[in-house]
Amino acid sequence: MDPTVPKATLKVLGLCAALLVLVAAVTVAVAVMVWRSEALGKLQGCRERAANESRELGTRLAELERERARLQRAAAAGAEVGDALRRDIARARGDTRKVNASLASCRERAARLEVNVTALGDELVALRRERAELARGKAALQAELARGEEQARGLRQRLDEVMEQQRALRARGEQCQARQRELEDTLQDYATELDAQRRRTRDRATGRRCPPSRYFLCGWWWDSRGGGHRSSHSS
């Protein structure tokens, strides 16, 4: 065997090994460079995110500060409200005792009112019965009133008739009075004439006398006329 062959093979193997190492080194270098660029990109992204988050955290911190101040003011106001509420609770407890006393009084009044309501209910029933009786009495009174009105109309008609008769009688009375006055005037004239005749007769007494029968007839006629009474008054 040629001793130069193993040497050449060893050289080739060495070259291949060196080439592989070189390729591996290049590959590693490229991989490192790629990883570095990615790492740098990620780092830049992280920095940007960190900056954004930092700004957001600053804004959130400012909001939290404002919220803390608001909560502190609210806590102070809540403390004041709590004090006011405690005072109100104390007053409410005092008022509760008063309300309990008032409630007991109200219950007593409610019991009395219930008794009164029962009594009023009984009175209402009695009043309803009385109202029904009054309604019946009212109906009877209305019927009687209708009959009374009918009778009143009849009496009014009769009164009108009586008044008409009274007016007629008054007119007849006036006519009778007028006739009576005329008769009285006539009788007065007759009495005057007879008085004159009697005076003339007395004046002639010394002369021719009237027979007794004629005197009797003259006296009867005079009395029938009513002149004797008037002549006696006039003489």
Question: 147-190, pLDDT tens digit by residue?
Answer: 888 888 888 888 888 888 888 888 888 888 888 888 888 888 88
Mean pLDDT of 112-122: 84
Residue 212 predicted with pLDDT over 50 = no
pLDDT tens column, 1-52: 455 556 777 777 878 888 888 888 888 888 888 888 888 888 888 888 888 8
Which pLDDT does position 105 carry in this prediction? 82
Which pLDDT does position 92 carry in this prediction? 75
Q: Which of 1-15, 86-100, 173-187, 206-220 has the lowest mean pLDDT?
A: 206-220
* Pair 192, 225: CB distance under 8 Å: no
| Percentage of the chain exceeding pLDDT 70 | 84
The residues near 190 (Cβ < 8 Å, ≥ 6 apart) are 225, 227
Mean pLDDT of 187-202: 82
Using 50, 70 and 90 to split pLDDT, how confident is the model at 214?
very low
Which pLDDT does position 4 carry in this prediction? 59
Between the alpha carbon of residue 234 and those of residues 171, 199, 215, 231, the distances in Å are 33, 12, 20, 5
Residue 120 predicted with pLDDT over 60 = yes
pLDDT tens column, 47-76: 888 888 888 888 888 888 888 888 888 888
Give the count of beta carbons closer than 10 Å to the beta carbon of residue 228: 15
Which pLDDT does position 215 carry in this prediction? 45
